[in-house]
Structures are given as C-alpha cells and as structure tokens.
Structure 1
Amino acid sequence: MEKILNQEKLREWVDMLDDCEVYAPAFADSVWNFARIEAGTDIDLSHTNTIGSVKEFVFPQREVFFRFEKKDGVPVLTPTLPDPKPTVVFGVRPCDGRGMPRNDTVFNKEFVDPYYWARRDKLTLIGLACNLPHSPNCFCQSVGGSPHSEDGLDVLMTDLGDRFHVKGITVKGVEAMERGRDAFDAVRDGDQAEVEKVHDTSRSFPQRPLGNLDAIPEAIRENFDSPLWADMAQHCIGCGICTFLCPTCHCFDINDEVISPTTGEGERVRTWDNCQFPDFTMHTSGHNPRADLGSRLRQRVSHKFLYFVENHKTQQCTGCGRCITECPVGIDIVAVLERVSQ
C-alpha cells in the first residue's frame, strides 16, 4: 500500500490510532528522544536521530520477571508477564529499524523470550527515511543499509516537503494506515519519481567507509592477541554509553532483589548489562578473563563484527553512529575497524 499524507494531516492520522500508545521524537534537554504523544500534541518529524533507540520498547532497561514472597513458610511466585497496549512509534530512522530483526533473532533463536515478544508483537514502527545525513558519524551504507531501508519497519515515510509518501510494508503497517485512511490521498503522477529522486540524493552523500566488510571477521581473528586493542582503549572510562545507546546490544543480567527480609518478599529483575563494565565477565572465583580495557573493547567489536556474523550470518552493527557521537572520550568504532583491518 502506498499513499500520500499532507503534512498538516499527520495529527489526524495519529488521532485515529486512539486505542494505541503513540510515541514520536520530541526535543528536550538538548536531545531528541522518543516521548509519549498526548492528545492534541503536535508531532515534529524534523528530528535528527534520537539519542535512545527503539529497542527500549521491546527490551526495557529494567523489567521484573516475577515477584516472590513467603506465605506460611511456603514460597509463592507471582508472574509479571507484560500485557501492553498496542504501541505505534513514529519517526523511526532506518538504522534503528534494521536493528529490530537482529534483536528478533537473538530473542527467538534457541529460546523464545516471552517478555520480549509480549511487547514486540504489539509494536508498530513507522519509519522516516533520511533525506540528509544527520551526523558526520552515520555509516549505514557501509554496513549494508541505506537512508531509506525498509528492513524491520512496518511503514516507511519519505518527506517530500509539503507531504509524505507513505508505504505500508507489513501487515501491521497496512493496518495502521487503514486506521487512518481518511487522512490519506492517492499517489499522484510524478510522486513516485520524486520519492526515487529523494532516495537517490540521500544515498549520494558521503559516509564513513569500512572497506571490505567481508574481510573484517578474519582481520579480528588474526589480531585477537594484538597489543593494538589496549592502545585503542587506553582512554576508555567504562561508562557503557556505547552499548546502552546501541540499537542492537542486548546483554543483560538477572538478579533477585529482596524488598523485605522479614517476609521474604522480592522481585527477580532483568537489567541491561554492558561488556565494557569491569565485572561483566567476573567469575565467582575472582578471576576475570577480560580484566583490562583492551580486552573489553575487543569483545564489543568482536561481538558485532565476528561472533554475530558466525552465529547469524550478518554483522550486528547498523551504522547509526551513536556510539561514536556520544562517546565522551572519542573512541570511534569505524577507526578501530580500520586499524584492525590494516
């Protein structure tokens, strides 16, 4: 399904999704991030990429698996499987969209994660193609994507100035468009040619190159024990920004948090973990196989460009550039890969 949506009718479409929780980019505290759209709130899709990714809608930073307590000396467990309302997210950039199939693979491979899929099955992603690069650190095309990739999105919108070209990609996407059918117009003569021109122009902007992507896994293997890793990681402060903002990083920890020692009441909680933290691979013996910054940087790069390729036949990085832009000490994953490859 392909339609035209005049810019002033975007709010009308959103209002027709009245039984859904609707999110869109909003500018606050000097950054763009996704925020809940309340009734009557205008939507501004002039955003650069959001600082947070859409993975948070399906894989929250903290979630309770179940609650436990003792009643008459007997342990009682209360499951907390989520049952969210249908959620629609507008303004998802294609690099974030490409992250979702990678996350789907992780949480649906050897074990199906019911907490993830309870949210994922009710999530609709309305993508917005990039007409211009939003950062000098964008490199989606270097990892097989594009500024108008449809991968992982349910709908792709392309900004044509006074109107959007709106394309339904999945069943969920077409359903969302059907809900707002009265807001849409038919595609006119010349609209498709204009869309193709916008897409061609967006692809023509230079991006950070990665060279031969297929050769990177072997370069990492060959340089596994190189002192290069320690040299490149010497400024790292272990803050974890690079992985927490990444649309595909998915490592987590599970802990039992006791609320009341008297009643034995507590919660089993999953929280994001981070391979750049010193205790990420700490053994109970006290031994840490990745005790230094260099080995932890190697782990992050290897996970994305070696191990994920071996396990899932694609690299884990989508080229959003957040980890470069937001790193407080300037560690640059593209530069790291260039040095390893050389």
Structure 2
Amino acid sequence: MSMIRFVASDGLPGLAASLARGGRRVLVPVEKPAASKPSVVFAPWEPGIAMTLAKATVPPKEAVLPECETLMTFRKNRDAADLNQTTVELAPVEAAQPTVVFACRPCDARGFAALDKPFLEGVYADPYYRARREALTVVSLTCATGCETCFCHWVGGGPTSPVGSDVLITEIEGGYVLQAMTPRGEELLGATDLADGADKFPLAEAARKAAWASLVPAPDLKEAAASLRAVFDDAAFWEAETARCLSCGACTYFCPTCYCFNITDEGEPESPCGGKRLRSWDNCMSSRYTREASGHNPRPQKFQRMRNRVSHKFWTYPENWGSFLCSGCGRCIANCPVCLDIRAIVLDAVAAARGKAGA
C-alpha cells in the first residue's frame, strides 16, 4: 500500500502552512469577493489567508502555464566602430519556483496530465513548461458527490480519479485521509509530521465509492471522434449548435486543458530598457485567433471556431494522444453566459452522424 497519512478536520490549513516553509510556493483555494458573485481562485498561501475547500471557479493551470509570462528579455547593442553591426543580448529565464497546488479537484489534476502530452511528449519539449512541471506537486481533494455541470466520468476521469495527482485527499468523519499516488507525493508526505492513516483507509475507500455511486450514468463517447469527423463539413449543424455563442471566450479561459497561446515582443530593443518576449493565453473563440498577417482568416465565422474547439477536444487531440482534451470539470458550462453545453454538442454530433450513416 502507498504511504497513507491522516489529518484532523481542522488540520488542512496548518498542513498548507507547513508546506510553504523553505521558500516553497503553495497555491490554495481562496474566496475572492465580487460585485455579482464571489469566486474561488488559487492564491499563494500566506499567514492569515482564509483558505476554502470549495471547488475553485478557475483551474490552477497558471501553476505551469501562466496567463502571461516572459520567455526572454533582449537588447540590441550597436558596435561603436561600425554602427551597421549589432549584437543581441539575451537574459536567461529564472528557474521555476517549487510549487504545491493544494486542494484542487481531480479534474484539475487531470488537466495537468492533459497539458503534459503536447508540452512534454511532442517532438520538442517546452523548456518553460517543463521547468514548472518538474517543480510542481499536486495535492488533490476528492469530490464527495457529483454536480449538475460536472461530467468527469464521461471523459475517463471521476470524482476520485488519481490521474495527475501526487497526493489524493479524501474526507472522512473526523478528518482527511491523504494517500501518496507518486514518489513525489510520498516525499511530500514523508516530510510531514502527520499521523499514519493506514487504519482509516477503508473509510476513505468507502467515501470514494459513495462519490461514484452519486453520479448519473455516463453515455459512451467512443463514437465521438468519428462522429465529429462525419459532421465536420456540415455547416448547418454547427451553425445551429453555436447560434447563441457570443465568442466571449469564457469557455477557454476557465478550462484546465486549453493551452493555445500567442507570442508578442514588447518594448524598445535598441533602448537602454530593451524589450521582452511574452507568451500569453489566447482564445480560439476570438475572431482574431487565426487571422493572418495578410488579413485573411480561415475561420471567420463563430461556428467554425466552435467546431475547431470541440473537434480538437474530442477528435484530433484523442487521435494524437489517446485521451480527450477535456477533464469534465464543467466550468465551460457553468460560466457560459448563454448556457451553451459542450456535452450537448458532442451528443448531438453523435446523433447526427448516426443519422447520416442510416440515411
């Protein structure tokens, strides 16, 4: 059996505080007040912070893929003897800070696993992502029950899925059972003074089974990729599915698995201040996302952009990497201002493909 530890019901904040010692950054879920409704975001632990165990409104993706990051700084230096000759001075990127994402949900941890494939397992590994990923430890809190917008079990996950987690926390009566899922998780738990929890593990297993029992049975999505391929050129289908879409991009910005980005150079490279190259999140639902320098846009209509988004998650990414580019967290559904539901789009595509095949 893997390493098991136990902490009392009021002990998780103290555990987060202890993990933050020694220069480690610990990102914990905290409630952020807002004019309309409060949100839960991940913020660095600090003394006095009010940690919550509610599911975060936004995923902790920024731990490995920041919303905006500096890839490098640069400055041109002219040769005083020959002004036509210049050299470019590049500043090295700082090393990644050891980080713990604390009390995220299994769908968030699964998001990290999904991002790993294109960023680490492709032809070229991304050095910026890799540095942060190697410095990251993921401590997930299993869900006690499903909710209306969650569909993790549709896409291969579940309320207690260990994929992407180094430590899995499960609430039981009187406290929490912490189970190491990876060597990194064992190292983290081994460095704490938490009590052994092996005798309480059966209670954790029972709680996990109860969480699964609360779920509505999931449809079989094995036909999803072929179905999306079959309806890809059916403009009428996609126009009907996305008629309400505002192209606001909420579905991408709240997604733990979306990873499209843009790269821009800013500053004055020939001034004393120099310039910098930035990588920022991009939004595939934006009309400017694929617009070329010539002004041509291969996806000028919003239905084409939604078609690209859904097809990537349930067709082309699975073809390349063997799993869906979706962790079923449901944030795209919960945060859509016009209540578009990606589950309905995929199921409608399956039904439409079956109809075409039977015609």
Match of 2:18 in 1: 16
Match of 2:240 in 1: 231
Match of 1:120 in 2: 133
Q: 1:111 aligns with which of 117, 124, 135?
A: 124
C-alpha contact 1:5 1:163 (8 A) present in aligned 2: yes
Matched, 1:214 2:222: yes
Q: 1:164 to 1:56 in 2, by over 3 A?
A: same
Q: 1:326 aligns with which of 332, 335, 340?
A: 335
| Distance (whole Å) between structure 2 residues aligned to residue 300 and residue 89 of structure 1 | 27
Q: 2:155 aligns with which of 131, 138, 143?
A: 143
Displacement of 1:246 in angstroms is 0.7
Deviations 1:269-320 (A, max 9, x none): 1111111111111122322111101111100000000000111111111100
Match of 1:169 in 2: 181
Q: Which amino acid aligns with 2:70?
A: V
Matched, 1:58 2:70: no
User: Given the two structures, how large is their TM-score scaled by the length of structure 1?
Assistant: 0.93
Q: Which amino acid aligns with 1:187?
A: A
Q: Which amino acid aligns with 2:141?
A: L
Q: Which amino acid aligns with 1:132?
A: T
Q: 1:241 aligns with which of 219, 241, 250?
A: 250
| Distance (whole Å) between structure 2 residues aligned to residue 203 and residue 75 of structure 1 | 61
C-alpha contact 1:138 1:208 (8 A) present in aligned 2: no
Match of 1:198 in 2: 207
Displacement of 1:43 in angstroms is 3.5
Task: Tell me the secondary structure at the aligned position of residue 58 of structure 2.
Answer: coil
Query: Structure 1: which 5+ runs fail to align?
Result: none
Match of 2:142 in 1: 129
Displacement of 1:203 in angstroms is 0.7
| Distance (whole Å) between structure 1 residues aligned to residue 338 and residue 350 of structure 2 | 22
Q: 1:313 to 1:260 in 2, by over 3 A?
A: closer
Task: Tell me the secondary structure at the aligned position of residue 336 of structure 1.
Answer: helix
Task: Give the 4+ runs in structure 1 shifted more than 6 A.
Answer: none
Q: Which moved more, 1:248-257 or 1:66-75?
A: 66-75
Displacement of 1:139 in angstroms is 0.3
| Distance (whole Å) between structure 2 residues aligned to residue 16 and residue 27 of structure 1 | 21
Q: CA RMSD in A?
A: 1.8
Match of 2:32 in 1: 28
Q: 1:68 to 1:301 in 2, by over 3 A?
A: same
Matched, 1:271 2:271: no
Displacement of 1:248 in angstroms is 0.7
C-alpha contact 1:69 1:265 (8 A) present in aligned 2: yes
Q: What percentage of aligned pairs have identical amino acids?
A: 35
Q: Which amino acid aligns with 1:103?
A: L
C-alpha contact 2:317 2:324 (8 A) present in aligned 1: yes
Match of 1:7 in 2: 9
Task: Give the number of equivalent residue pairs.
Answer: 335
Displacement of 1:69 in angstroms is 1.7
Match of 1:87 in 2: 99
Q: Which amino acid aligns with 2:11?
A: K
| Distance (whole Å) between structure 2 residues aligned to residue 15 and residue 284 of structure 1 | 49
Task: Tell me the secondary structure at the aligned position of residue 214 of structure 1.
Answer: coil
Match of 2:354 in 1: none
Q: Which amino acid aligns with 2:150?
A: C
| Distance (whole Å) between structure 2 residues aligned to residue 31 and residue 102 of structure 1 | 25
Match of 2:82 in 1: none
| Distance (whole Å) between structure 2 residues aligned to residue 8 and residue 287 of structure 1 | 57
